[in-house]
Amino acid sequence: MAIDEQRLQAFLGKAVGDLGAAISATLIEIGDELGFYRALAAERLDPAGLAKRTGTNERYVREWLGNQAAGGYVEYDEASGTYGLSEEQALCLADPNGPVDLPGAYGIVEAIFHAKDRTLEHFRNGEGMEWGEHHPCLFRGTERFFRAGYNANLIGAWLPALDGVVDKLRHGGRAADVGCGHGASAILMAQSFPESEFVGYDYHAPSIDVARERARAAGVNNVSFEVADAAGYQGKDFDLIAFFDCLHDMGDPEGAARHACAALKEDGSCMIVEPFAGDSVKDNLNPVGRVYYGASSQICVPVSLARHGPALGAQAGEARLREVVVKGGGFRRFRRAAETPFNIVLEARP
């Protein structure tokens, strides 16, 4: 078979780029944990200056800076021998409380390597893995990465896109965050709507412990957290029930939707935030789809299969979710309310 040299070189160029990204993943986490990005966002530094500023070893810092500059994560000035972050790089790398938190996502990447042996067996035997069986770095990374998206969109864009929800929350509504994890979304809503009451539910007890501590640290007293399954919590008469990036993971997403429908007031709303996806494989063959298919095969699908669920996956798409929520869950109205490059926001009403 004749090899097309141009196509071969194009593929190898892509593969080398991916290899460089993969081998740099731990260095991104290290740069975050040691404060390298924050220091470079504040001022331009040479390797010795960055090492002194962060209390680290200059020889290792020099190699880290070379890696980061080669990858486009840090800017290098040859004349001065210094490195720094542009405003755009700093936005994504140096502020864990900002609208983008790329280092947070690498906690998720770290977790899939911890689970690699289990994942290998899953491909052979079709079994699953509970969320709580993962390394704790998955929970921390998920909180950080998704919290950034909530900071950027939840209060200013997603909630206003729902029919009448903001007005209800301003005047003292009741809302539930199902599958709340460490509570980032519930706490953010509680801070923004102090007249309303919020409750977060999650079946993973250690995450609920963290959520309670996060709420205490934030001084938020209008939010509580309970250990409960998505189809078994006891709360009723909610104005809003939200599922943030979790419905596709569940063992019984239709049961969770039915339970939410019954727990809402007659004029209540269910907000379902899901990874951005089209309805066909072809629609999802892009960089965002690649990230989500990777997470789905190693985290999302195993979590659902561990509970003998349908394994919707992170790229389920709006049409499949409509079947789950309307046909299976009993909701009558369903629409796409908003979207970002990473999420679709769906509104369902009884």
Q: Work out the burial of residue 27: count CB atoms within 10 Å of its CB; fewer than 13 is exposed, 13-18 middle, 19 or more buried.
A: middle
Residue 96 has a pLDDT of 86
Section 122-139 average pLDDT: 97
1 has a pLDDT exceeding 80: no
Phi, psi (rounded to 5 degrees) for 339: -160, 155
Using only the alpha carbons of the chain, give its radius of gyration.
22
Q: Provide the 3-class DSSP secondary structure of residue 140.
A: helix
Mean pLDDT over the full length of the chain: 97
DSSP H or E run through 253: helix 253-263
- What is the percentage of the chain residues whose pLDDT exceeds 90? 98
Neighbours of 265 (CB within 10 A): 15
Residues 6 or more apart in contact with residue 63 via CB below 8 angstroms: none
Residue 258 has a pLDDT of 98
The string of pLDDT tens digits covering residues 185-227 is: 999 999 999 999 999 999 999 999 999 999 999 999 999 999 9
Residue 137 has a pLDDT of 97
Sheet holding 238-244, edge to edge: 223-227, 197-202, 174-178, 238-244, 264-275, 343-349, 333-339
Query: Cα 83 to chain center, whole Å?
Result: 30
Q: Which domains does the chain have, with CATH numbers?
A: 5-93 (1.10.10.10), 102-349 (3.40.50.150)
5 has a pLDDT exceeding 80: yes
CB 309 within 8 A of CB 129: no
Section 251-269 average pLDDT: 98
Residue 97 has a pLDDT of 84
Residue 107 has a pLDDT of 96
Please report where in the chains the tokens 């104005």 appear, as a residue.
239
Give, rounded to a whole angstrom, the gap between the first and last alpha carbons of the chain.
59
Residue 39 pLDDT grade (very low, low, confident, very high; cuts 50, 70, 90): very high
235 has a pLDDT exceeding 90: yes
Residue 213 has a pLDDT of 98
98 has a pLDDT exceeding 90: no
CB 110 within 8 A of CB 29: yes
How many residues in total does the chain contain? Answer: 350
343 has a pLDDT exceeding 90: yes
Residue 315 has a pLDDT of 97
The string of pLDDT tens digits covering residues 139-190 is: 999 999 999 999 999 999 999 999 999 999 999 999 999 999 999 999 999 9
